Structure 1
């Protein structure tokens, strides 16, 4: 598709319009003006009759292509905070034009610093290494109308980066009387300080913020200037003498970068270099002379300017005050505060400015309701330092208020810092309240005797040693509800009455451990009431145990009757029986029980156990020859013993027990049960007549079956084993060998076994006579 000539022309016009609009969003810089022209623009033609200027000079650097480090700038329809004025840069002035899309780091190795700036920074204790790339404008001037001068400026820099907390480009406005050799006075300072303006002394960086109230912000890519950040509009001012010639030097330089990186610039507002007139003193809280309520304060030139044709424009906080004729040379401030200023244009065209700061005195918020007074130290007098009521009477009380008390309206003031004794109930005092030098207002305040926090009639508190341990730990605070019906009280605890009267922090802990009676003085305080105190005696008391109630053992299936002493005040048994005379319970079976015994106003809970008697256990019967020892455990000792049907004895040893099988009986001390055990003493036989007549037909050692590891063997005279006892033959020999009848002869036998409980093995040997009559 081809464009028509008209379309091409239209596109060209739109492009030009877009370019013009884009440029209009950024400042413009003109570097064609010489030093005198720059100063003339800076001072403004309207101020020629106010200020005369001479000996103008400018110094900086001119880069290739006629690009000096200074020039004249214009807002050019952008959002920049200053309409127009002079720019002094440490780089190429024209590169200050926006947007902020390139880094300004211009440098020439032949471009040095400035000794006057270095001296000023040294005096302020700021670093002066590598002060380079200085640009300055200087001139002489005489003020014809004012003894004060000021001008507005902004400081912008590429050094404004979050990562920079080291390099500090600087600006100074140096002034001194012309022709003198003394040092300059620097009036370009961080407001309220003696610190020169640098890229570090006013900084919003995260890592090193300083004087951020005066930092204008970091600039984005659509900023009207090509700098990373800027200050707010600042004002430099100096007091001078009318008609005296002064020399001014405005100077800026790079710091620290050996290659002059990261340029900075100062923008001086055109027409802001004006004379300042006095329109009244500041009325501020810092001066302790703020504006009083309903009292007008007239601000006007002092002395009168003597120019009937002068025109006055009044401002508050930089905004015009509407409705005031330009011929009115004064403005009355009533119940208002802020920064008030006036711009005066004399008939000669000279412009003068005056400023005054006004703050309102605080207005007392008075509570005139009746006030309670207390006998806090229990001296019998209702007295207090009147100064202690200041915060109660004036809700917004600060030291800015003047307050006094008197017995009559307009009477002599009472000393607030000594105790005033109230002699009447109620009593009226006249309170005079005013802030700073403002006329005070008098308020009648009624004072009355307050009501003390109420204690109950309780004077003694029982502390029971319920475990009968000899001491008891308790917390005094747990008994506050029993000694007062008041809620919301604050209690403190003291050893002595004098301490309780004086009050303050507790002298003893709320937690107490006592072994005897203990007195504690308790002071109670409550909002809206007067304090009170009372001695509370904590009585150390102990109950007692029953010596009759103890653990009992009863026979299986039986019950028992239990009885405590009759001198307890009350009984409560765990089985539900209770009463003042219920010292006994009956038919109590096996179980765990307790009884609560009340005596001496205390309760002791005594635990006891009813157990079923345990049967004794015969662990072993030790046999050593014919001596028998019975070993018993369990049950209730001591035990008694009986052998067969004999009489019970306390000894567990029997001697000379007959051979054969016996029964031992054991009975415990509880008498509930008897246990028995059978045991055997082995018989010794030495003759056998196996003729089947029923007499001595066999050798019977079957009793060995009850023994451990028994042995019964029979040998002939030649040592041949002819019989070996075991569980199959039950240790019984019938006189045969391999089922054949043996001839009459003598045979050798061996008997061995281990008796239970006896480590020594029993061994018996001897001859058996076999008579065979068949």
Structure 2
């Protein structure tokens, strides 16, 4: 297959670390022994951009020819391959490198069948097959390019000096390069301190002719081939479970070349079978090592050289210190750098003062700036320290380099364990679990120096106790004493911890132990296996809890799970006058009775709202909406219990009442124009009872006129659109108690008159 992409990258992507961390964690649970991890799912573009690429290089025009399983990524931290992680290419499937070394010559299939590479043909002097070829262009920001690699093969050792040896090469072409390969390329995969001798099975090996080889074949590559054993690791018949399947591989070698800053170069990384298509070979290239010499700042936090805490960048108070490292590409002159120190942590307060002046002497390529945290008792949350420096590279570009460390508050380790523990069948199983803190943890039981695991099995029939000391990676200790005894009778209980409002709501059940010795296992008939169980039922029912103690003794308890039963929502279909308050008189559903015994429900009121009417007056759109949100609604509800205020428009409205549990009731409200009923007395004394001269039914007759006369025939109040709001005042001054005379000229043409008494006497 053949793929091509164009992309520009100037620094190594952080994805590499995330990928390797995830795959490492996944693999650690898959098998007890550790091994190399290979991922063949990545594309060539992903391999180059997220795995291979380092600092000081811009890449583009990535192409790849070969089968998908001939290129990928690897994590060798748990194997004997000397490069910890990076990219891999192989003549067959990359997964062939996964050990153990249980085959003298291994082939897993795969390979770009019958496809050769002319440069590998020339390098090996044999016809090649199954070629995998990765190519891309790059622009360096320094005057050199380099990367670290190791070559391994299953053709070791029996085919040393043979005629079917696999071949690989790193072919560099571009300005100032004049070699013997395509496009005047040179091969960077050469033995150190030689005149360009290529690294092959016949040039780097154990110094002995293989059973299928001839010394002439090795001498054809390098007359001194038997003297290169320092670059070879013999892995044949390696019984270590961590060992790779490959029968031999090289030490870590460096591919390097001088380049011109800012110019475009091309590199081809190729590997293929030679002379046949059998027995696989692989080349490992260290992740992030394809780089050009450049200035850099790094940060690391570790204890005894072991990475800890959030990707090796977290410093914990009272635990570990850290260091920033400034790296420069040249060391031929003394130089003073002024770095910038920033972050949320305060220099000289949260950590010992860091001098921003960095002095680098002649011959000094790197300079370490220690970060020494000052412990305190305050809970401050994560704080950052960043060091950055702007430099001009060999191409004349200004480049900002920075690194950040995180200061975290110390979190003590807590121990979780069952106490006491029962003696069962002559054994007491003591187990402790760490909560929080910083691992890895060391465990030491008082029962013996060899008892160093989190689980301690004590063979005994007699009660006793053991002390456990847990030491975190910071050296802090936590201790606990666990007793073990013959188990008493197991007695359990269970209870419902809350009261659900509605059928179907979640409710939590909790298990309890009255007597018994753990550890315990829990089994709820509803399906759970923890100390608590969350259930969702539509009605009350019984859940059975069964608990088993450490000796296999069981006890059961029935938990009555209660759910409320609400009555159906009922009410009436009221007919009310315009502008008058009404009530649906609702009962049932979610609610409660008030102090007078009246039902107060918790309801919401909905109706259908229609819009977008056509020429015939038929609505084209509708929406189910809250009554109070509907434009021109005939009624507005007052609170959640069903009281409402009728509007000033006649009509019928269908009301959908829904309670908090989703129960529904449907009712009809009719708003009508009623005849007026004119009272002959009102008492505006501020007691909120009959304080206004209200005329029931007047809302149905807008623009009605009202006049109030005193006993001498003088008009004291008048309105051309009376709605019932006179409070017995004139110019905000109350009129005297007594008898007055009204004339109501209703807007339908009818007139009414009569006496009106105002009295403020309270009864």
TM superposition score category, shorter chain reference:
0.3 to 0.5
TM-score w.r.t. structure 1 length?
Answer: 0.33
TM-score w.r.t. structure 2 length?
Answer: 0.33
